[in-house]
Every structure is written in C-alpha cells, then in structure tokens.
Amino acid sequence: MPLEVHVGFDDTDSPLGGCTTYIGARLVEILAEKGFAFLDYPNLVRLNPNIPWKTRGNGAVCLRLSVGGEGDYEELKETVLAFIRSHYEKAWKDTEPAVAFLRGSVPPMLRSLSQKALRRVVEPREALRVLRACGGEALELEGRQGVVGAAAAVGETLEGDHTYEAVAYRLPERRGEPRAVSFDSVVEMDRATRPWTFNNLDPETGRVLVTPRGPDPVLLGVRGETPEAVKKALSMVETGEKPERWAVFRTNQGTDAHLGETVKIRDIPPYSAVVVEGFVAQPPQTAPGGHVIFRLKDATGEIFCAAYEPTGNFRNTVRALRVGDRVKVYGGLRKAQPLGPRTVNLEKLEVLETAPVVEFRSPLCPRCGKRMTSMGAHKGFRCEKCKHRSSTLRRVPFPIPRSLSSGLYMPPPRAHRHLTKPLSRYGLEKAGKPGSPPRPEAFWGLGPPA
C-alpha cells in the first residue's frame, strides 16, 4: 500500500543561509537514487519575512514523496536524518534546525498553521502541538525554533498561486569566491524569457538579481512561472564556472501569500505581515538616512508607514502623498519598539483616492485685477499696482493639481521581499498542483542544466 510522506525542514539562522535549498537539492539526489518517488517538485516555502530572529529569507523546504509502506517510511526517515545530521554538524553552528515528517494527506489544521506562519508569529510549542495532533512527528536537531518552519513547510501545499525557481549550486571549492556570471547573458536571458521569468534585473540600477552575494552555495537562481521556463532560463546564463548541480523548486515566492485580509490598525500584532486601509494623517517627511515616513489613520488608530532608503524611487511616490489621501498599505511590522511608534515597512502602496489639495493665496485686486500682497497676518491686503487697500478681503483657495494618481506602486525589484508579488506577475496568477507527479529529470540534475 503506497504511503504519502511529507518531509519538511527549516531554514537556518546562520550567515551560510541558502543552505536549506541546497540541503533539499542534495536530499533529492539521495532519495531519487534510493528509488523513492516524488509526488511534487521540491517545495520552497517562504514564511513571514518580519520575524526578526530569522536572519535571511525565512525559507523552509518540503519534499513530498510516495513510499511503499511503513518499512520504506522508516528507511526514508533514517536517510533524511542521517544526511541532515552530518551537514548540520559541519555547517550549521548556531542554528536550530528541525525536520518534520507527516504520513498521509495534509490536514486543514496544518494548512492553517502554515497560513499563520506566513503572516504572524508562531511559537515552536504551537507548531509542535499541531504537527503531533495531525499525526506528524518532529525531530529537532538543536533547540526548538526550527520546528516552526519545518511544520509550516509541510502544511503549505502551494495549491493557490505559486511560482518556480531554478537554482544552480557551486562546487564546494568555488564557494566564497567571487561569482563571474555574465551580465550580458542575464540581460539576454531576461529579454528572451519575460514574462515567464521575473526579477532577473533591477531596472532602476541595472543590478543583476539572480545571483546572491557571499559564501552561499547558490550560484544563481531564476524565478518564473513554469518549471520549463526557469530551467531554460537558467541554462541561458553564462555562469563562468561549472555548477555542481541544479534543482527546480515550486514555491510561494512572488505571490503575496503573506499579505492576507485587511486589518484594523488597533489589531496589528507585532512582527506581522499586514494590509491596512486608511487615510494619510500627516504629510510624508524625509528622515535622516533618506527614509520617507508618513502617518496613516483609520477608525481605530494611527500608525507610521515607512519607505526605507533602499526602496529608491518608490520614495518619490510616498513623498507625493498628502493629508486626506485614501490608501491601502502592504508591508510588515518588523521592529519591536516598546516606546517608539509602530511602523509599517512598506512593500506596496495602493493609492485609492487622492484628496483635493488647495493652497490659500492673496485675493485679486477688485479694482485692477492684479494679485494683491498681504500686509501681514490679519492686517489686510494691498495692491502694488493701484495702491488699493482692503482689510475685509480674505485669502482665496486655489486648487493645486496632484502629481500622484490612483494606482498600485511598488519599490524596485532589488528591494522586494521573496514573497512580494512583482507588478510583472499581475495577471499571471495560477492555482492547483501539477497534474501528475513530475519526473525527477524535470527538477534536478548534476552539472549544468541540459
């Protein structure tokens, strides 16, 4: 009797981040060679990006397989744990990785846990309780923090909107060396594969976004809409070195999965991903460091919203806001500031309705029609041309044309969170799992992708 098995494992907190997908890619090889059948592409599940104790992308991986029976399940478990343990000892020093196993289909309770882990804070105790209540088990290799991501990865079956990422990994001896990925080949790949790939380059700066920095085993990763498109795009990039391996992940990256229902300002919990609708209550101000901050209000309270310096020209949009503008903000509450005001770190801004802005100007002279000059507060107006004076005339409202129109505005791709849906993906959303289990050669291989 074939048995469906889900194996989730958590990201690491270490500066060696990116290891989780690499561990996933290595495990895919080991399990495929042992003859285990995969039910889905390896899933790369990004979770709430506003959790401060997760240093990087807050990503976890889940492998979904079919095994022959209980005996095979035990073998699978031992294989996975042995591999993760050996790699944990070498590379994962100050982290708390965990592995979650679940047999059978994923129950609604575990799916709900994943939804919460995308938007809010989930305590390890809660994740463990839900996983066990669903018949799953967690094996923590160090501490307990990792169990949240491991369980949430199992629970996020990516049946709503999803994307793919094809990742190439470096040979061990190349890690830490500068990458020599050809800029021109990325430009050409981007031109040839859009809109089936996204966020390859940052249009504002020309920066290549497919390569991470640092000692990460990832050489480059291309994100897009289909496994075929991302694999082909990956093969088009001249990497300047032979990759150790490649893998294609199905993922919630670029889907806005973390941005749920609109919440009231009063109800925003710390470290959450939020959507809030309200009115601009205080004009935008540029703070030291170039951050642009304004105050938003709704019927329940007020909160600050910030477009930080790395969001580039997006800040010009935010600066164009005026008091009374009706907006919807998308973002995250990251820092706990017990005394300071709560601040939403803006990922997107939707201008729903701009308020009329008027400027009060001196009246026109009733005798000659020239604009008069104020003689000081409450002292009336004087005409410089015909010398007419008046103490009864008042300043008159003058409508100022708005530079900002209604619509959705976003920071440039270089400032996006992994989960943020880029403008180029609007209209490309999809739902459902792959119809039939993918063949292994569709999602992993050694060397460069063919």
Contact status: 368 vs Zn ion (CB under 5 A): yes
Q: What is the rounded CA–CA span in Å between residue 272 and residue 405?
A: 29
Pick one of 27, 80, 218, 365: the residue that binds Zn ion (CB under 5 A): 365
Binding segment for Zn ion (CB under 5 A), chosen from 30-38, 44-52, 277-285, 384-392, is 384-392
Number of residues that bind Zn ion (CB under 5 A): 7
Q: Which of 252, 342, 241, 283 is nearest to 61 (CA)?
A: 252
Q: Which structure tokens are listed for 99?
A: 């592995």
Report the nearest approach of Zn ion to the CB of residue 380 (Å).
13
Q: Which is nearer to Zn ion, 240 or 369 (CB)?
A: 369
The distance of closest approach from Cβ of residue 376 to Zn ion in the complex, given in angstroms and rounded to an integer, is: 19
Nearer to Zn ion, 167 or 372 (CB): 372
388 touching Zn ion, by CB under 5 A = yes
Nearest approach in angstroms of CB 378 to Zn ion is 21
Minimum distance, C-beta of residue 386 to Zn ion, in the bound complex (Å): 3
**Which range, of 133-141, 270-278, 309-317, 359-367, touches Zn ion by CB under 5 A?**
359-367
Judged by CB under 5 A, the residue of 207, 335, 367, 430 near Zn ion is 367
Record the tokens describing residue 214, joined without a space.
Answer: 């640092």
Q: Does 383 bind Zn ion (CB under 5 A)?
A: yes
Cα-only R_g, the chain: 27
What b-and-e string marks burial along 152-166, b requiring 16 or more CB atoms within 10 Å of the CB? bbbbbbbeebbbbbb
Beta carbon nearer to Zn ion, 86 or 373: 373
Position 62, amino acid = C
Query: Candidates 117-125, 183-191, 331-339, 376-384 — which segment interacts with Zn ion by CB under 5 A?
Result: 376-384
Residue whose CB is less far from Zn ion, 264 or 367: 367
- Cβ proximity to Zn ion: between 150 and 383 the closer is 383
CB of residue 362 vs Zn ion: minimum separation in angstroms? Answer: 12
Single-letter amino acid, residue 77? K
* Residue 11 phi, psi (nearest 5): -60, 170
What is the C-alpha to C-alpha distance for residues 275 and 217, in angstroms, rounded to an integer?
35
Among 32, 91, 263, 386, which residue sits at the site for Zn ion (rule: CB under 5 A)? 386
SS3 75: helix
Candidates 37-45, 256-264, 341-349, 385-393: pick the segment binding Zn ion (CB under 5 A): 385-393
Q: Closest CB to Zn ion among 294 and 381?
A: 381
Cβ contacts of 319-322, under 8 Å, gap ≥ 24: 319/284, 319/286, 319/292, 320/284, 320/402, 320/403, 320/404, 321/280, 321/283, 321/284, 321/294, 321/351, 321/404, 322/280, 322/283, 322/354, 322/355, 322/357, 322/402, 322/404
Side-chain half-sphere CA neighbours of 341 within 13 A: 15
Pick between residue 326 and residue 389 the one whose CB is nearest to Zn ion.
389
**Contacts with 5 (C-beta within 8 Å, 6 or more apart), sequence order:** 64, 65, 66, 67, 73, 76, 101, 102, 103
- Of 322 and 388, CB closest to Zn ion: 388
Judged by CB, which is closer to Zn ion: 366, or 407? 366
CB under 5 A: which stretch of 13-21, 251-259, 364-372, 431-439 binds Zn ion? 364-372
- Strand 381-382 versus strand 98-103 pairing type: unpaired
Interface ranges with Zn ion (CB under 5 A): 365, 367-368, 383, 385-386, 388
